A = this chain, B = another copy of it.
Amino acid sequence: MNFTKINPEILAEIKAAIGADKVFTDAESLENYSHDETEDLHYQPEIVVKPNSTEEVSALLKICNAHHVPVTPRGGGTGLSGAALPIYGGVSLSMEKFKAIIDIDTENLQATVEPGVITEEFINAVAEKGLLYPVDPSSKGSCFIGGNVAHGSGGPRVVKYGTIREYILNLEVVLPNGDIIWTGANTLKYASGYNLTQLMIGSEGTLGVVTKIVTKLLPKPTQSVLMMGSFNTNEDACAAVSAIFRAGVTPSALEFMERKGVEWVIKFDDIKFDLKDDVAALLMIEFDGDDLDDIFKNCEKTNVVLEEHSCTEVLFADTASQKEELWRMRRTMAESVKSNSVYKEEDTVVPRAALPKLISGIKEIGTKYGFESVCYGHAGDGNLHVNIIKAGMSDEDWKNKLKFGISEIFELTTALGGTLSGEHGIGLVQKEFMPIKYSEIHLNLMRGIKNVFDPNGILNPGKIMPEELKKSSF
């Protein structure tokens, strides 16, 4: 890519257009915006810009587009695929000032919100009005709703409530040339030409910068029950997952946790949990609704399935604090692994009945290449997060050999009908693996779409589609 470095003239132009107080060039800012939660990767931007209106985003992009300066949009910085890393320098465009919940429309069960709102704050704000926004990734306490849109983020409730795609109705977007559009309409249904809203979701800030978001909301269920089943093997636990759905019940969450992950959170996150010696894996199963009798009927049906799949113990979390502690265990698992080991994270997803084959395959590949892994995730969706930990692997093997092991994981995922990422995105770190799943024909369609929106290629360059790194790929 031929990009222009930000020279004093361009910097002055940006400052004049959107205000010098929103442009940062100090060493601390450049360092702070050089990384997200992806491994230990660092790429410094040349400047950090924090606009606080759609018009300012538009003005910034117009200037950068004219000068061929790369712009990398950034949400809460919790991404796991490196999509917010400014790998070509240029501008780190932080959306942190887009903090307004503009409207919670209780007549239509819709909300209009700015992309810099923290997901959990939005969830709580609508909950106060008796409403549910069910998209709650584990990072909900710090991620931005705009980042969730950009990554097609999920979370445990997808299994009952559907993906974020079902909840995003309309988006205000600034295109790379500074033009502003609304992608759709504030309606539950839409059959009015190519669905640009859906195209923006999961496009990782490569097609446009989202500046307003209209979401669908639901009535908030008033009751929930959380069950925890223990298993002596990973495969038993995974096999139980698809059997639960076949029994005709739909949990509001169905999470898998491998023993090693539970051990790590107990050790590093001060979680109180009595992990029996013979337990290899846990399933967390939640049901929600308005009728406790109905919920308990579903729990009973589920109990039968668990017993049939060699479940050794079923716990019920009755109180709010018990539930909260178990959810904390699940939600902090990623951080616990990441803050205590060198790691790489994969976000595999397969049809849910293929989970037992996926997890045993991953372990076999680990044995072959000499890495350990901690697996957990949204098993109800067939979405298994694989934390590869360095453990005894040599630096040399970690650097040069591991990627062949990761390739094998994705070959397995693909062979099982799945794909590379369920909810974390491709970003920087997965793009070299895209050809395992997608043909050149397919990738060229993506590149063509990118070119329609961003002919100068300034917006989040070097993400999703393998291109610049092609020569170094294997």
Contact = CB atoms under 8 A, between A and B. Distances in A.
Contact of A193 (B297, B353, B446): B446
A138 interface: no
Interface in A206-230: 207, 218-219
A426 B193 contact: yes
A279 B369 CA distance: 74
A338 interface: no
B422 A189 contact: yes
A165 B452 contact: no
Given A107-B353, A351-B110, A434 B382 contact: no
A452 B414 CA distance: 26
A352 interface: yes
Nearest to A151: B191
Given A165-B166, A245-B109, A419 B294 contact: no
A41 interface: no
A165 B297 contact: no
A417 B187 contact: yes
Contacts of A464: 193-194
Total copies of this chain within the assembly: 2
Nearest to A250: B219
Contact of A185 (B109, B190, B418): B418
Contacts of A195: 152, 165, 198-199, 201-202
A449 B452 contact: yes
A19 interface: no
A181 B440 CA distance: 10
Nearest to A431: B193
A17 interface: no
A187 B108 contact: no
Nearest to A347: B191
A424 interface: yes
Interface string A50-81: 00000000000000000000000000000000
Contacts of A414: 185
A113 to B, nearest CB: 15
Interface in A98-147: 105-110, 130
Interface in A334-361: 347, 349-354
A465 to B, nearest CB: 7
A167 to B, nearest CB: 10
A106 B246 CA distance: 7
Interface in A152-201: 152-154, 158-159, 162-163, 165-166, 175, 179, 181, 184-196, 198-199, 201
Interface in A377-391: 378, 381-383
Interface in A16-30: none
Contact of A425 (B152, B191, B378, B423): B191
A50 to B, nearest CB: 26
A437 interface: yes
A290 interface: yes
A135 to B, nearest CB: 12
A438 interface: yes
A291 interface: yes
A179 B448 CA distance: 15
A267 interface: no
Contacts of A199: 194-195, 198-199, 449
A442 B196 contact: yes
A247 to B, nearest CB: 8
Contact of A290 (B207, B248, B350): B248
A469 to B, nearest CB: 15
A399 to B, nearest CB: 25
B417 A185 contact: yes
20 contacts: A108-B353, A110-B351, A152-B195, A159-B188, A162-B166, A163-B188, A175-B445, A179-B441, A181-B441, A187-B419, A190-B421, A192-B420, A192-B425, A195-B198, A195-B199, A199-B449, A289-B294, A290-B297, A294-B294, A448-B453
Interface of A: 105-110, 130, 151-154, 158-159, 162-163, 165-166, 175, 179, 181, 184-196, 198-199, 201-203, 207, 218-219, 242, 245-246, 248-250, 289-291, 293-294, 297, 347, 349-354, 378, 381-383, 414, 417-426, 430, 434, 437-439, 441-442, 445-446, 448-453, 464-465
In the A-B complex, the 5 residue pairs with the closest CB atoms: A448-B452, A185-B419, A189-B422, A107-B353, A198-B198
